[in-house]
Amino acid sequence: MSDILISDIFFILLLVGLSIPLGIYIYKVMTGQRVFLTHVFSPCEKLIYKMMGVRGESEMTPKRYAGAVLALSGLGLVVVFLLQLLQNLLPLNPEHMKSVRWDLALNTAVSFVTNTNWQAYSGETTLSYLTQGLGLTVQNFLSAGVGIAVLFALLRGFVQRKQITIGNFWRDLVRVTLYVLIPLSLVLAVLLVSQGVVQTLSPYVQTTALESGAAQTIPLGPAASQIAIKQLGTNGGGFFGANSAFPFENPNAFSNLLQLLSILLIPAALCVSFGKAVRDSRQGRSIYAAMLILFILCLAGVTASELSGGPVYGGVTTAGSMEGKEVIHGVGTSALWGTATTAASNGSVNAMLDSFTPLAGMVLLFLMQIGEVVFGGVGSGVYGMLAFVILTVFIAGLMVGRTPEYLGKKIEPFDMKMVCIVVLTPALFILFGTLAAVLMPQAGTWLTNTGAHGFSEILYAFSSFGANNGSAFAGFNANTVFTNVTGSIIMLVTRFVPMVAVIYLSGNLSGKKIVAAGEGTLSTSNALFVGLLIAIVLIVGALTFLPALALGPIADYFTAVR
């Protein structure tokens, strides 16, 4: 227990220590200031603008900004969809992978474009090297870049006065991709290769098992490059079916630490960037503190449940539940990874989540259901939490009878409508999707388990769709036409409807004047506000999902054989 506590504390301190300089660096990049990579990438940046035929210095209205986001994402969806349908005719397919079935190809394309990276397939048996590299890896970069770009569009809305524009989407996307995502991914990929993660275009290796003498196929591929950006961009889609539980993706403790840090590094750093962007670091620290407190509470709950949930042999309880976990990672690291991957919008796993104890599984579910605002996805986590901040300010204003303000901007009806869209859209589609699935006559045939745990598997899948997470209780067979098509619709709606609402919220805020703070202005940077913000997040989540959780993991806990 003490070893797990020490390793968790070390991880959190390392995360905080690395996120501060990175957050300052991202802020400088996105505001056009010189950084140490400017002399390297500035010519590339100008060349990209020229090739795209766009003017980097031009500004966009919210309508144009949203249109650019949707156009790029729509184009990416079509490209990834076609790559899968035609991969049997295209090069870089040494294993002669067949064309992917249309509904699975649609689901996969939508999944990677929306930063969900849900996978109803095993990569090593379904996709060619070209599809993995040109399709999925490229979308890992673009979907992450889109999230960060939209966040900075929102931040401009807070600091600008009486403006009708919120920046240039193409400039934001190029800068964050060129100066942040590519350099970090290159460094991480090299480190992962040094630890034994595969990176090759060679065909799979055919060998003979030492013990049984049976023929065995060892899958290979350009994995390290995709794994680096899948973690840094909170994407999570594994190159291989077993994801980061597979030794070719995650071979040892050091590679595990590198990937764990990568999952939360940019989302945490963006809290620092937020404080710098609004010219008040205290605001960034208050959001960072709220996220960190929620993360620590959830980590403690998952770890405690996993440690106390081990099987009993002859009256002796084992040291935690090791079912579905790799021995090299153990209970502590598996619990940390599970918490991190559901706190962030990252679907990677280093243990099978379906084998987690019921209460631990409930925490993982709840982290997704509150909108993944505990760090969350790159960009989307911070703007999701800012929606809760505005909601908290509005509620506090109602209690004291004042017009709510945040960062000098009055919060008015249009702003609250956009906030409600951001907060409620994922929740509604998670619940409606789960409802539709359990009403299907063949739903029972999709499940490995029955009863409460079977319901939890369905609830988890649609929570993952709605939260753009991508992880799964693998006992649910999601590769059906119904789930692929329904999941695609949910992923698209819950990604882009809140995103467009954030862009229009930014435009409305940008057009307002800044009101000077007075004696009655609510402080949004002290401990009281942090506590109120945490309470609002938990209350909204509980009011929305407690009945579903009671039917799933809570019932599973009370009915499990112990």
pLDDT at 100: 97
pLDDT at 73: 97
Query: What burial class does residue 157 get, using C-beta atoms within 10 Å of its C-beta: 0-12 exposed, 13-18 middle, 19+ buried?
Result: buried
Across 16-30, 381-395, 402-416, least confident range = 402-416
pLDDT at 486: 97
Residue 293 backbone dihedrals phi, psi, to 5 degrees = -65, -45
Number of domains in the chain: 2
In a domain, 403, yes or no: yes
Strand partners, 222: 199
Domain limits at 553? Answer: 378-559
Mean pLDDT of 484-492: 97
- 528: its two tokens: 């009281």
The sign one gets for the Cα dihedral 418, 423, 426, 431 is negative
pLDDT at 318: 58
Does 62 share its domain with 190? yes
**What is the tens place of the pLDDT at every residue in 323-381?**
888 888 889 999 999 999 999 999 899 999 999 999 999 999 999 999 989 999 999 99
In a domain, 313, yes or no: no
**Final residue of a structural domain among 279, 294, 322:** 279
502 CB neighbour count, 10 Å cutoff: 27
In a domain, 295, yes or no: no
21 CB neighbour count, 10 Å cutoff: 11
- The answer to whether 191 and 101 are in contact (CB under 8 A) is no
Across 235-244, 254-263, 303-312, 519-528, least confident range = 303-312
On the question of pLDDT at 1 being above 70, the answer is no
- Nearest CA to 231 out of 290, 291, 274, 187 is that of 187
In a domain, 467, yes or no: yes
Confidence of residue 314 (pLDDT cuts 50, 70, 90): low
Query: Can you list the positions of beta strands (E) in 78-146?
Result: none
**Final residue of a structural domain among 227, 252, 279:** 279
Cα 19 to Cα 9: distance, rounded to the nearest angstrom: 15
pLDDT at 298: 97
In a domain, 304, yes or no: no
Cα 71 to Cα 326: distance, rounded to the nearest angstrom: 42
Cα 361 to Cα 366: distance, rounded to the nearest angstrom: 9
On the question of pLDDT at 57 being above 50, the answer is yes
Reported as type and span, the H/E element at residue 547 is: helix 527-549
In a domain, 300, yes or no: no
In a domain, 485, yes or no: yes
- 444: its two tokens: 């029972």
Say how far residue 266 (Cα) sits from the centre of its chain: 11
- 179: its two tokens: 């100066």
On the question of pLDDT at 562 being above 60, the answer is no
Mean pLDDT of 302-331: 77
**What is the tens place of the pLDDT at every residue in 124-164?**
999 999 999 999 999 999 999 999 999 999 999 999 999 99
**Final residue of a structural domain among 279, 300, 330:** 279
Strand partners, 406: 409
pLDDT at 462: 96
pLDDT at 450: 87
pLDDT at 316: 47
In a domain, 526, yes or no: yes
Does 261 share its domain with 392? no
The sign one gets for the Cα dihedral 281, 287, 289, 295 is negative
Residue 231 backbone dihedrals phi, psi, to 5 degrees = -85, -50
Query: What burial class does residue 203 get, using C-beta atoms within 10 Å of its C-beta: 0-12 exposed, 13-18 middle, 19+ buried?
Result: middle
What is the distance in angstroms between the CA of the first residue and the CA of the last residue of the chain?
22
Q: Return mean pLDDT, the chain.
A: 93
Confidence of residue 64 (pLDDT cuts 50, 70, 90): very high
Does 406 share its domain with 527? yes
3-class DSSP state of 464: helix
Cα 484 to Cα 107: distance, rounded to the nearest angstrom: 5
3-class DSSP state of 35: coil
Angle at 557 between CA 535 and CA 330, to 5 degrees: 85
Cα 39 to Cα 41: distance, rounded to the nearest angstrom: 6
Query: What burial class does residue 18 get, using C-beta atoms within 10 Å of its C-beta: 0-12 exposed, 13-18 middle, 19+ buried?
Result: middle
138 CB neighbour count, 10 Å cutoff: 17
Angle at 323 between CA 317 and CA 328, to 5 degrees: 100
Does 433 share its domain with 552? yes
- 424: its two tokens: 């409620």
Number of residues that this document lists for the chain: 562
**What is the tens place of the pLDDT at every residue in 65-99?**
999 999 999 999 999 999 999 999 999 999 999 99
- Nearest CA to 302 out of 272, 340, 269 is that of 340
Cα torsion for 99, 103, 106, 111, to the nearest 10°?
-110
Does 174 share its domain with 47? yes
- 178: its two tokens: 């060129």
* SS3 letters across 195-260: CCCCECCCCCEEEECCCCCCEEEECCCEHHHHHHHHHHCCCCCCCCCCHHHCCCCCCCHHHHHHHH
Cα 411 to Cα 389: distance, rounded to the nearest angstrom: 11
- 496: its two tokens: 């882009």
Does 540 share its domain with 430? yes
- Nearest CA to 142 out of 107, 163, 112, 100 is that of 112
Q: Tell me what percent of the residues of the chain surpass a pLDDT of 70.
A: 98
**What is the tens place of the pLDDT at every residue in 512-556?**
998 887 777 888 999 999 999 999 999 999 999 999 999 999 999
On the question of pLDDT at 315 being above 60, the answer is no
